[in-house]
Amino acid sequence: MFTFIGMGVVIVAIAAGYAMEHGNFHVLFQPAEVVIIGGAAMGSLLIASPGGVAKIVFGGFGKVFAESGINKASYVELLLLLNDIFVKIKKEGLVTVEKDVERPEQSPLFKKYPAILSDSEAIAFITDNIRVMISSNLPPYQLEELMDIDMEASGHERLLAPQSITRVADSLPGLGIVAAVLGVVLTMGKIKEPPEVLGHSIGAALVGTFLGILACYGFLGPMATNLEHKAHARQTYLSVIKTALVTYGADYVPHLAVEAGRRAIPGHDRPSFQEMEALLRKAKGKG
């Protein structure tokens, strides 16, 4: 939603300012400039994106307009799920959750939280690490190191799209100059034309520079930043899981492990201590 609003504000502000100076919008309509800049940018992106990187990058454009889905409610749901898992382990033993983590889509524990169950990455991160806890006797610091390796790999992949888009954005002003230079070359062929014809031709050439700079700083640059914020938010979400699992693995009681996870949540999305305590008591009463 905010992405569309922001793009609308950029377009309206520029168009309004241009109109206030009685600008001719017909001059800004230069399809050839768009083809040159857009086509060259696309080609440079393909050159710079080997193998499956291109697929990740192009998939990233779609994520710009999608909500991250990570907010206070999703963190609360995550903490409640982790609490349920920890409580079951404490009461019945670690091996009793083996069936739950092997088939989470059929597990009563996970089915209570459909939003998390639909998040394949989060489910894999939780279940894989609980499998490690079941199958080995790793000390907490080694379990944490294992999760850090996993998070580093997934974090690297999430940053591929914003990094590639940033590089393309940085190239757009230069490609705009290329389009402008080609326009000037065409204008030189009209050197014997009247001044009004030359002026229109030079103005059309300069539109290339305008479009390149606008696309860089008004659209692609902010899109890359949007994806970076979402990548960092995702990393924080996984960090909450890691913190809770490592803390519980260090023989903390369930509600303290959940409290450790709560404290790993950024302030604007973090439920208060009292809120979480009330929710845990409510869940305990239902259990």
- For residue 284 the two structure tokens come to 């305990």
- For residue 66 the two structure tokens come to 């999608």
Asked if residue 110 lies in contact with residue 120, where contact means CB atoms within 8 angstroms, the answer is: no
Using left for φ > 0, alpha for ψ between -120 and 50, and beta otherwise, residue 98 falls in alpha
Q: Sorting pLDDT into bands at 50, 70 and 90, what band is 189?
A: confident
Count Cβ atoms within 10 A of the Cβ of residue 86 and give its class: 0-12 exposed, 13-18 middle, 19 or more buried: buried
CA distances (Å), 228 to each of 72, 119, 238, 247, 251, in order? 20, 19, 16, 28, 35
Helices (H), ranges, 195-253: 195-214, 221-249
Rounded CA Rg of the chain: 27
Which amino acid makes up residue 93?
G
Q: Sorting pLDDT into bands at 50, 70 and 90, what band is 257?
A: very high
What is the pLDDT, as a whole number, of residue 121? 93
pLDDT, tens digit (0-9, with 9 covering 90-100), for 136-167: 888 989 999 999 999 999 999 999 999 999 99
What is the pLDDT, as a whole number, of residue 286? 61
Query: Is 285's pLDDT higher than 90?
Result: no
Ranges of each domain in the chain: 30-287
- Tell me the percentage of the chain whose pLDDT exceeds 90: 72
pLDDT, tens digit (0-9, with 9 covering 90-100), for 58-92: 888 888 888 878 999 999 999 999 999 999 999 99
Asked if residue 214 lies in contact with residue 156, where contact means CB atoms within 8 angstroms, the answer is: no
Residue 32 to residue 257: CA distance in whole angstroms: 60
